[in-house]
A = this chain, B = another copy of it.
Amino acid sequence: MTTTPAPDSAMEGLREEDYLRLDQQICFSLHAASRAFGGLYRVILKDLGLTYPQYLVMLVLWEHGELPVKKVGEHLRLDSGTLSPLLKRLETAGLVRRERSARDERSVLVGLTDEGVALREQALRVPRRISAATGFDVAEILDLRSRLDKLTDALDAAALEETPDHE
């Protein structure tokens, strides 16, 4: 229980009740925004036959080519428990190919099939539609992105601190 109090100058006058309401606001907002994004992607990606997380995996493969499952997971912050069934579905859909690495038999290399490579052409029109849907210009998007990344780093660090078996 070694929580750093982080004395915020502006929070002095707030009671715990106010915190509870403020907290409600921020977690509601983030939760809602995340799901709204997922909802729009769901509609737009329906033509491609991809879900939102599947689209993220395809983006990684389009950019980096063949990768071991581990590396894909590092790019997306996902573990094998999520990726294994997801990749199996992409393989069933014919977009992705999986094979054991010869160099390291523990590792499985994930690569694109011809069909997977071809799908990139369809995907190229997705970002413009998403971008237009946000109503934000590039500067706003970049600014929001940097704030979210900063938030993510802080939250990850804090979660690590809070974890009981953290020595």
Interface residue ranges, A against B (CB under 8 Å) = 1, 3-11, 14, 16-17, 19-37, 39-44, 52, 56, 59, 62-63, 76-77, 123-142, 144-152, 154-156, 158-159, 162-163
A151 to B25, CA, bound (A): 15
Q: Which residues of B contact A162 (CB under 8 A)?
A: 40, 43-44, 129, 133
Nearest CB to that of A4 among chain B residues?
Answer: B142
The reply to whether B149 and A1 contact each other, CB–CB distance below 8 Å, is yes
Nearest CB to that of A145 among chain B residues?
Answer: B29
Nearest CB to that of A156 among chain B residues?
Answer: B36
Given A33-B151, A159-B36: A16 and B133 interface contact (C-beta under 8 Å): no
Copies held by the complex: 2
Given A34-B34, A36-B155: A137 and B26 interface contact (C-beta under 8 Å): no
A124 to B141, CA, bound (A): 34
Q: Which residues of B contact A31 (CB under 8 A)?
A: 34, 56, 76
Q: Which residues of B contact A130 (CB under 8 A)?
A: 23, 27
Q: Which residues of B contact A147 (CB under 8 A)?
A: 140, 144, 147
A159 to B26, CA, bound (A): 23
Q: Which residues of B contact A9 (CB under 8 A)?
A: 137-139
Q: Which residues of B contact A136 (CB under 8 A)?
A: 151, 154
18 further interface pairs, Cβ-Cβ under 8 Å (given A16-B125, A35-B77)? A4-B145, A6-B132, A9-B137, A16-B128, A21-B63, A23-B59, A23-B126, A27-B37, A29-B148, A32-B148, A33-B148, A33-B152, A40-B158, A134-B155, A134-B158, A135-B154, A136-B151, A136-B154
